[in-house]
Amino acid sequence: MTSSTTVLSGLHAWLVTDDVASSRQAKLGRAYRVWLELLANPLAFGGAVVVLVLVALALLAPVISPYNPNAQNLLEALRPPSATHWFGTDEYGRDVFSRVLFGARTTLYTTLLVAIIVAPIGFLVGATSGYLGGWVDTVLMRITDIFLAFPGLVLALAFSAALGPGIENAVIAISLTVWPPIARLARAETLTVRNADYVVAARLQGASVARILWRHIVPICAPSIIVRVTLSMASIILTAAGLGFLGLGVQPPTAEWGAMAASGRQYLLDAWWLTTIPGLAILLVSLAFNLLGDGLRDILDPRNG
């Protein structure tokens, strides 16, 4: 007991010490300080917990869901929430609780995929634009502005219509609407360090553009991009749900919260739970990402707070 406490406090001291011995210690220490600050911010911590629970539920959905999410049982259709069906059943007698759990997978899959696609693209466009300047900057920023001119959902609607239904196409359509603000941000961050001494020194030593971007610009942009992407996750979730609500994106019978809420509208008067529960799930998760993003901004990127 006491020995484990000493080990822990020793670890703590090693992580927060000011005279670091290795770059690994510095990196771990920085991550640890972020973690400590996150713990000190109850709202952001709550957001992180909800996100972690979402990830756990999505991973464990096949294990913990009491029913097959797509198994129909017309005899049990439109049953209100009860001990056997916690969130009731839908018009085909499918268990809503199981479908909400599997819907978490769809949501997480879409959101993560979009984030993984847009962060590098946004960074590359923005950083190249800001670092190179000149006509490259003009052309890239004009393209960014054109995409920014559309309200996100409308652009996503148009592209999903063009690409056809399906979760991958929804991911592409949403990605097309999320990258421009990230590019703008990366450009602004790049401009602040473009002529900094260490960047000029690297250039004089003959470093290639790619190397400067990767070794010197990425570390500068990373915090604000991480914050931006976390905050975007909430709007990605809402856009994906909106597409599902309009019948685009993920196709039945795959469980998706927006589509579940939409199909529940036909039975609104008899079965309030069909629309209410998936919508609550969307609200909760998008709120969690907003809280987490807000907290991360206070910690990682205080300038833009």
CB of 145 to other proteins, least distance (A): 6
Residues that bind other proteins (rule: CB under 8 A) add up to a total of 44
CB of 15 to other proteins, least distance (A): 31
Of 76-84, 86-94, 185-193, 275-283, the window that binds other proteins (rule: CB under 8 A) is 275-283
Of 51-59, 78-86, 126-134, 280-288, the window that binds other proteins (rule: CB under 8 A) is 280-288
Query: Is residue 302 near other proteins by the rule CB under 8 A?
Result: no
Separation in Å, CA 258 to CA 130, 268, 294:
38, 15, 25
Query: Is residue 159 near other proteins by the rule CB under 8 A?
Result: yes
Of 1-9, 86-94, 121-129, 245-253, the window that binds other proteins (rule: CB under 8 A) is 245-253
Query: Is residue 271 near other proteins by the rule CB under 8 A?
Result: no
Query: Is residue 259 near other proteins by the rule CB under 8 A?
Result: no
String of b and e for 35-51 (b: at least 16 CB within 10 Å)? eebbeebeebbebbebb
Residue 222: how many other CB atoms lie within 10 Å: 16
Query: Is residue 166 near other proteins by the rule CB under 8 A?
Result: no
Query: Is residue 77 near other proteins by the rule CB under 8 A?
Result: no
Of 60-68, 115-123, 161-169, 208-216, the window that binds other proteins (rule: CB under 8 A) is 161-169
Question: Which residue among 290, 292, 296, 297 contacts other proteins (CB under 8 A)?
Answer: 290
CB of 154 to other proteins, least distance (A): 5
Q: Which is nearer to other proteins, 212 or 243 (CB)?
A: 243
Of 24-32, 117-125, 126-134, 260-268, the window that binds other proteins (rule: CB under 8 A) is 260-268
Is the peptide bond between 253 and the residue preceding it cis, with omega within 30 degrees of 0?
yes
Query: Is residue 155 near other proteins by the rule CB under 8 A?
Result: yes
Query: Is residue 150 near other proteins by the rule CB under 8 A?
Result: yes
Of 32-40, 103-111, 119-127, 243-251, the window that binds other proteins (rule: CB under 8 A) is 243-251
CB of 210 to other proteins, least distance (A): 28
**Nearest in space to 178 (alpha carbons), one of 247, 231, 250:** 231
Residues that bind other proteins (CB under 8 A): 142-143, 145-146, 149-155, 157-159, 161-164, 234, 238, 241-242, 245-248, 258, 261-262, 265, 268-269, 272, 275-276, 279, 282-283, 286-287, 289-291, 294
